[in-house]
Amino acid sequence: MKKGIDSDEVLTRLFGSISRARILGFLYAHTGQSFYQREIMHETGLSLRPVQRELDNLVDLGILKRRETYNRVFYEVDSDSIFFKPLMQIYGLAQQKNR
């Protein structure tokens, strides 16, 4: 990684979207936990529409799981996805760089 470029910027460039990078970063930091849209919105600092769009995209790609309970929809990392291990490694390295 070039000096002077932080890992958040690298992840944004890699995934082509600051929204996608932040959502994946948050959810991979909390693997095994489920969150509803407003929690993800609050934790990532993003507005509702970008969160909805990216969550839909990530579910369609098989990276996240979507689960409905009563009147709430929860999202979490799909640990059975073929993308789980590679993304976990990417986000693990990014977190190490930020320390």
Q: Is the pLDDT of residue 1 over 50?
A: no
Q: Count the helix, strand and coil residues of the chain and give each as a percent rounded to the nearest 5.
A: 60, 15, 30
Measured from the Cβ of residue 16, the count of other Cβ atoms closer than 10 Å reads 9
CA 15 to CA 11: how far, in whole Å? 6
Give pLDDT, residue 91. Answer: 75
- Burial class of 69 by CB neighbour count within 10 A (0 to 12, 13 to 18, 19+): exposed
Instruction: Determine, yes or no, domain membership for 1.
Output: no
Domain of residue 18, residue span:
7-98
Q: How does pLDDT run across 45-81, given as a tens digit for each residue? A: 999 999 999 999 999 999 999 999 888 999 999 999 9
Residue 91 sits in a domain of what CATH number? 1.10.10.10
What is the tally of structural domains in the chain? 1
Instruction: Determine, yes or no, domain membership for 2.
Output: no
Instruction: Determine, yes or no, domain membership for 80.
Output: yes
Joined together, the tokens standing for residue 81 give 């996805």
Instruction: Determine, yes or no, domain membership for 77.
Output: yes
> Taking the model in full, what pTM does it have?
0.83
